[in-house]
Amino acid sequence: MPMKSKALIYCLLLSLILVCGCTGLEKVQEPYAVYESFSGEADKYDSVSASAPTQGVADSYLEKSARSSSPEDPSDTRLDQKIIKTASLRLEVSDVPTTTHEIEKIAQANEGLIQSSSVTVGQNNQYSGSVTIQVPSSSFEITLEKVSAIGKVISSSVTSDDVSEEYVDLVAQKKALSNQLEQYNRILTKAINVSEILEVQREIERVQVELDRITGRMKYIDSRVSFSTIKISLSEPAQVVTATGHSVASVISEGFTGFVETLVWIIVFILTLLPLIILGGISYFIYQRWKKRRVL
């Protein structure tokens, strides 16, 4: 083989070896560069975590935690239906005070309680009153039926307020606030100086106040759902009225009063004229004696 051909072949092989070597070197350096980049980012994150937990960092951290802890399945927040039942009754009864005690006994027999009770007397000794009771929701219908049977029902109404949506929303808010409170407490353990501690404590107090408010509202709804309210207004039947606009009882009462007053005036008149009558009688007796003596 000629010398020129061999030299050309050697040059080609050498070039191929150099190209392969450079390519292999680049592939080896690439993971190392990636590792250095990841290490730099990690060091940056560590430096941020070790620094003061500003509001922006804390909120970002809490937002990521809330997304990771939020239920993906909406069925996790489904609860039983929450219905608040309220009834209003107007009853006409013969005796308001007695009926008030009967309603209280019905409420107690059905494991209920008396929320308020009042009785007032009006004109002609006609009574009226109102009673508000609370009974377990399971006894609402039967209690309403027993109370309605006491007297004549003038009017009645029953309302059902569905608060399920509000309650589900309160449950979700409570869960989110509980997660925030837990995360803030974790951040508090990592705080370094006084300003950081005070800032995190302010956020903890804010979240705790809101959490207490929501918890109180949930307890109130649970109480209203567990116990239904029945409001009863009581009145006695109107008395019979005569054509002159007076009732029979008032006419009799006024007539008796007039008779007594007339009798009193007669007695007063007689007592007033009694001295004159006695004086006249004495004068007449003397005149008759004088007249008889004159005739004799």
Q: Which domain holds residue 159?
A: 54-238
Cα 104 → chain centroid: 23
- The C-alpha atoms of residue 181 and residue 196 are separated, in whole angstroms, by 16
- The C-alpha atoms of residue 135 and residue 111 are separated, in whole angstroms, by 6
Q: Are residues 130 and 227 in the same domain?
A: yes
> Which one has a higher pLDDT value, 31 or 260?
260
- The C-alpha atoms of residue 60 and residue 187 are separated, in whole angstroms, by 12
- The C-alpha atoms of residue 134 and residue 156 are separated, in whole angstroms, by 17
pLDDT above 70 as % of the chain: 68
Q: Are residues 20 and 108 in the same domain?
A: no
Q: Are residues 92 and 222 in the same domain?
A: yes
Q: Are residues 98 and 20 in the same domain?
A: no
> Which one has a higher pLDDT value, 252 or 52?
252
Q: CA dihedral in degrees (76, 81, 84, 90; nearest 10)?
A: 180
Q: Are residues 97 and 168 in the same domain?
A: yes
Q: Are residues 16 and 142 in the same domain?
A: no
Q: Are residues 90 and 207 in the same domain?
A: yes
DSSP string of 224-284, one letter each residue: HHHEEEEEEEEEPPPPPB-TTS-BHHHHHHHHHHHHHHHHHHHHHHHHHHHHHHHHHHHHH
Looking at the 3D structure of the chain, how many domains does it have? 3
* Under 8 Å between Cβ of 35 and 156: no
Mean pLDDT score of the chain:
75
Q: CA dihedral in degrees (95, 101, 105, 106; nearest 10)?
A: 40
* Under 8 Å between Cβ of 117 and 104: yes
- pLDDT of 25-79, one tens digit each? 343 343 333 333 333 433 333 333 333 343 444 444 444 444 444 444 444 445 5
Q: Are residues 164 and 251 in the same domain?
A: no
- pLDDT of 170-226, one tens digit each? 999 999 999 999 999 988 888 788 888 898 889 999 999 999 999 999 999 999 999
Residues with Cβ within 8 Å of 156's Cβ and at least 6 positions away in sequence, in order, are 87, 88, 89, 90, 148
Q: Are residues 39 and 137 in the same domain?
A: no
pLDDT above 90 as % of the chain: 41
In a domain, 277, yes or no: no
pLDDT at res. 6? 54
